Chain A
Amino acid sequence: MGDFWGPDLISDLPQSIIESILVRLPIRDAVRTSIFSSKWRYKWNSITKIVVDEKCVPPSNDRTINEKSLLKFVNQLLFLHQGPIHKFQITNSDLQSCPEIDQWILFLSRNDLKELVLELGEGEWFRIPSCLFNCQKLIRLELFRCELEPPLTFKGFMCLKTLILHQVLISPEAIETLISSCPLLESLSLSYFDSLALTIHAPKLRSLYLEGEFRDLCLEDTPLLVDISVAMYMTDDIAEHFEQSSSCNFTRFLGGVPNLERLAGHIYFTKYLSIGNDPGKLPVTYRNLETVELYQVSFEDMKEILVVLRLITSSPNLKELQISGSSNIPTATDAPDLDFWSKECPSDCTLKQLKVVKLTDMCGVPHEMELIKFLLANSPVLETMSIVPCMYVMESQLKMLIELVRFRRASARAEIVFVRD
């Protein structure tokens, strides 16, 4: 049959090219190449990346059937495979914790595993076997809904660069030890941890993503950190605990990151930073900080406003600022302390690079207006300021606009865009 059409086009390409092609196919198609011809029978055997996802087995409505066929598929796949496996990913919601997965991890740990992504279905969380901690070549570890317990003799992953733990059950000491024992760690992401008090020692860390209820956050040894994104939930008992503490959270968290380029804080982040004693003028200047996003800033809390102010005034090269408020509709009985602004703002503060400002959920609270006034007066190259008022405020919008129009602008090119729904 081959002679009829002409010479074989593809089977004689070097194995590196064949591998490069097979790796780009879904695993099922890659394995099916074994029946193309006799030369192709074992070409798929040495692929180094295995991604098991929703498309691997023919779907049916019954989860247990899917799970069984998936287990059978992966078992046979690993059994027939030869050679190292560098990347292994399971992203399948039908698969839940079962003993076969332990065996797969044992098999992988003997085969030079470098990247592991484990995202199983909802249900009982999978308990990671201790053989995972023998994968000394691991570069990337991503776990969803697992239980992790490093053995006492565990010295760390020497090559690990990316660690992503999402809903993982691990003791606080273990997580701190794990982070500090990975000397090359560059990217850390921890989501949905409950009441964790975390101190991070990671000298090579560049990117940090945190989401959950954190009781305490301290970046002790992260000089290279460039990108921070924190979404901080707070429960009542954590809030209570905060009232008593006196150490300044701002310096504890942001004191040691001079190279910061991007900061994003969600939910109660600003509140968290505001707790503790006022640092006064910050010792650190964030020369590289270009983008700041702070959500749910309460403009009725003086301390939170102070945090925002300190941050802005310590970032001379800030280019983009995004703040979203979460205040209540102003009532006449509030008597805001507007002297605060003239007291706390340094007189020579000019935001020489600030080009884009976006303010959302603005209620027209006096301090919000003061902030806008401050920004307009100190941003000589401002190009766009967009203000999105809070939905529920109707009459105040007119009041806001009237005030806005009066403010002096340092930038002749500034456009104020007032977005109405």
Chain B
Amino acid sequence: MSEIDMAVIKPEMIKAYVWLQISDGSVQQVEQEIAMFCPFICHEILQKGMGSSKNNAICLPQRVSPSLLSLILDYCRFHQVPGHSNKERKSFDEKFVRMDTKKLCELTSAADSLQLKPLVDLTSRALARIIEGKTPEEIREIFHLPDDLTEEEKLEPLKNTTDDPRIRLLNRLYAKKRKELRERERLKNVEAEDEHADEHGDERSVDDLLSFINGNDRDPKEIKTTKNKKKNRRKKDQQKNSLKETSELNKEESNGHDIRCQNAEADRIDDEIDPALQEKIDREVEDFKRILNSDWPKRMQELLSSSGQERKTMLFSTNGTSLPRRRDCMALFSCLYSFFSHMILLPSLTVDILNIIWA
């Protein structure tokens, strides 16, 4: 054809089309220059020679649904035109990502499968804006995430749901209470399975468990001595399992493992400890018990007054008013440390303590 003939032919007639097959089987015809904006399609055309006819249609990845494809093509149609200014492109992008979250996630996935990086960046930014600044509960609601982490797992050191230390402590206490209730439920079920005769479930409070460890004879409160050592061992095993999840948080783990193994075999370990040490332990346990069962203001008072002597060394050197919470933690922690160092473990207590400490 001569040049003059070429000039007469209208531009639309020369426009090339490619055939795309979508996940649901339907085949669509799209202008080539728009489709080529996607690297995946570009690759298919150039390297494999596909897309030239209906039979030879390019199979799009499964994540690209028909509605998503039309969205992506809108994006490509706008951006492949070189004439738009940066400002225009930006405002188009802003309007483009205004869609519900579900569609946004699907669009990100589809754009990624087509290797369309600018669109992936745009949608990622939009998703990041959604996530930023929201609480985990809100996020779970928006993205339909299951709340399937245990309380211990949620206490990763870097997490801070709120920044007010007292609210954090309250959350911690609520979590602890909920956990205790759950534990009791679970134990109740377990006991009901193998101890038909035993009416009462495991109603034992912290005191009882403490007194069990101490050997039943020092605690003035009413003790339900366990007739069945097998039951205790099973309980200890269960609590041991739940405690294993906190193992990464527990510094004394190396001691802990050995101790728990020993505990499983030896029912009575307090026989091996000499009486003076035993008394010291008892005193500390009593303190601890009292602290845990008392309410917050009283506890605060007590700790602030009692955290004199050796505990001061472990405290932060802050001015008195700023972080009473921290001193509380550190006081408890020092208590716990000495507790552990005497090789006495109370699994549920440990968890409770860890709950409080990791603020």
Number of B residues near A (Cβ < 8 Å) is 39
Q: How far does the Cβ of A208 sit from chain B's closest Cβ, in whole Å?
A: 27
Contact of B128 with A21 in the complex, beta carbons under 8 Å: yes
A51 CA / B243 CA spacing, docked (Å): 34
User: Cβ of B141 < 8 Å from any Cβ of A?
Assistant: yes
User: Cβ of B131 < 8 Å from any Cβ of A?
Assistant: yes
Task: Return the 10 tightest CB-CB contacts between A and B, nearest first.
Answer: A2-B146, A24-B128, A20-B124, A37-B145, A5-B144, A58-B163, A9-B105, A10-B143, A9-B143, A31-B158
Q: Which of A5, A20, A60, A73 contacts B322 (CB 8 A)?
A: A60
Write the A32-49 contact mask toward B (1 if CB under 8 angstroms, else 0).
Answer: 111111111100000000
User: Cβ of A99 < 8 Å from any Cβ of B?
Assistant: no
User: Cβ of B32 < 8 Å from any Cβ of A?
Assistant: no
Q: Which of B108, B120, B159 contacts A34 (CB 8 A)?
A: B159
A40 CA / B144 CA spacing, docked (Å): 13
What are 23 A-B pairs with beta-carbon distances under 8 A? A9-B144, A11-B145, A14-B112, A16-B112, A17-B108, A21-B128, A25-B132, A28-B158, A33-B131, A34-B158, A35-B156, A36-B136, A36-B139, A36-B143, A37-B146, A39-B145, A40-B145, A41-B149, A58-B160, A62-B318, A65-B318, A65-B323, A80-B158
A68: chain B residues at CB < 8 Å are: 316
B209: chain A residues at CB < 8 Å are: none
User: Cβ of B121 < 8 Å from any Cβ of A?
Assistant: yes
| Size class of the contact patch on chain A | 35 or more
User: Cβ of A7 < 8 Å from any Cβ of B?
Assistant: yes
Q: Which of A10, A31, A58, A65 contacts B127 (CB 8 A)?
A: A10
B:136-175 near A, CB below 8 Å: 136, 139-141, 143-149, 153-154, 156-160, 163
Write the A369-396 contact mask toward B (1 if CB under 8 angstroms, else 0).
Answer: 0000000000000000000000000000
Q: Which residues of B contact A (CB under 8 A)?
A: 101-102, 105, 108-109, 112, 120-121, 124-125, 127-128, 131-133, 136, 139-141, 143-149, 153-154, 156-160, 163, 316, 318-319, 322-323
A263 CA / B254 CA spacing, docked (Å): 65
A35 CA / B154 CA spacing, docked (Å): 6
User: Cβ of A26 < 8 Å from any Cβ of B?
Assistant: yes
Output the residue of A31, A36, A60 with the most chain B CB within 10 A: A36
Q: Which of B136, B144, B159 contacts A7 (CB 8 A)?
A: B144
User: Cβ of A6 < 8 Å from any Cβ of B?
Assistant: yes
Q: A8-B146, A35-B153, A58-B160 are in contact. List 6 more A-B contacts (CB 8 A).
A: A2-B148, A7-B144, A9-B143, A10-B143, A11-B145, A17-B124
User: Cβ of A77 < 8 Å from any Cβ of B?
Assistant: yes
Contact of A25 with B131 in the complex, beta carbons under 8 Å: yes
Instruction: Give the residue name and chain of the A residue nearest to B156 (CB).
Output: A34
Q: How far does the Cβ of A194 sit from chain B's closest Cβ, in whole Å?
A: 38
Q: Which residues of A contact B (CB under 8 A)?
A: 1-2, 5-11, 13-14, 16-17, 20-22, 24-26, 28-29, 31-41, 58, 60, 62, 65, 68, 73, 76-77, 80
Q: How far does the Cβ of A34 sit from chain B's closest Cβ, in whole Å?
A: 6
A40: chain B residues at CB < 8 Å are: 145
B141: chain A residues at CB < 8 Å are: 5
Output the residue of A5, A6, A7, A20 with the most chain B CB within 10 A: A20
Contact of B108 with A13 in the complex, beta carbons under 8 Å: yes
A5: chain B residues at CB < 8 Å are: 141, 144
A25: chain B residues at CB < 8 Å are: 128, 131-132
Q: With A9-B101, A31-B158 as given contacts, are A21 and B131 in contact (CB-CB < 8 Å)? A: yes
Q: Which of B143, B157, B159 contacts A8 (CB 8 A)?
A: B143
Contact of A62 with B105 in the complex, beta carbons under 8 Å: no
A8 CA / B145 CA spacing, docked (Å): 5
Contact of B158 with A77 in the complex, beta carbons under 8 Å: yes
Contact of A2 with B127 in the complex, beta carbons under 8 Å: no
A272 CA / B49 CA spacing, docked (Å): 63
Instruction: Give the residue name and chain of the A residue nearest to B158 (CB).
Output: A31
Contact of A32 with B158 in the complex, beta carbons under 8 Å: yes
Q: How far does the Cβ of B25 sit from chain A's closest Cβ, in whole Å?
A: 23
Q: How far does the Cβ of A78 sit from chain B's closest Cβ, in whole Å?
A: 11
B147: chain A residues at CB < 8 Å are: 1, 37
Instruction: Give the residue name and chain of the A residue nearest to B101 (CB).
Output: A9
Contact of B144 with A2 in the complex, beta carbons under 8 Å: yes
Q: Which of B101, B121, B157, B158 contacts A20 (CB 8 A)?
A: B121
Q: How far does the Cβ of B30 sit from chain A's closest Cβ, in whole Å?
A: 24
B101: chain A residues at CB < 8 Å are: 9
B131: chain A residues at CB < 8 Å are: 21, 25, 29, 33
Q: How far does the Cβ of B28 sit from chain A's closest Cβ, in whole Å?
A: 25
Contact of B156 with A38 in the complex, beta carbons under 8 Å: no
Contact of B316 with A37 in the complex, beta carbons under 8 Å: no
A228 CA / B57 CA spacing, docked (Å): 53
A65: chain B residues at CB < 8 Å are: 318, 322-323
Instruction: Give the residue name and chain of the B residue nearest to A40 (CB).
Output: B145
Q: With A34-B156, A35-B159, A38-B148 as given contacts, are A21 and B140 in contact (CB-CB < 8 Å)? A: no
A243 CA / B109 CA spacing, docked (Å): 68
A31 CA / B157 CA spacing, docked (Å): 10
Q: How far does the Cβ of A404 sit from chain B's closest Cβ, in whole Å?
A: 37
A259 CA / B160 CA spacing, docked (Å): 54
A29 CA / B159 CA spacing, docked (Å): 9
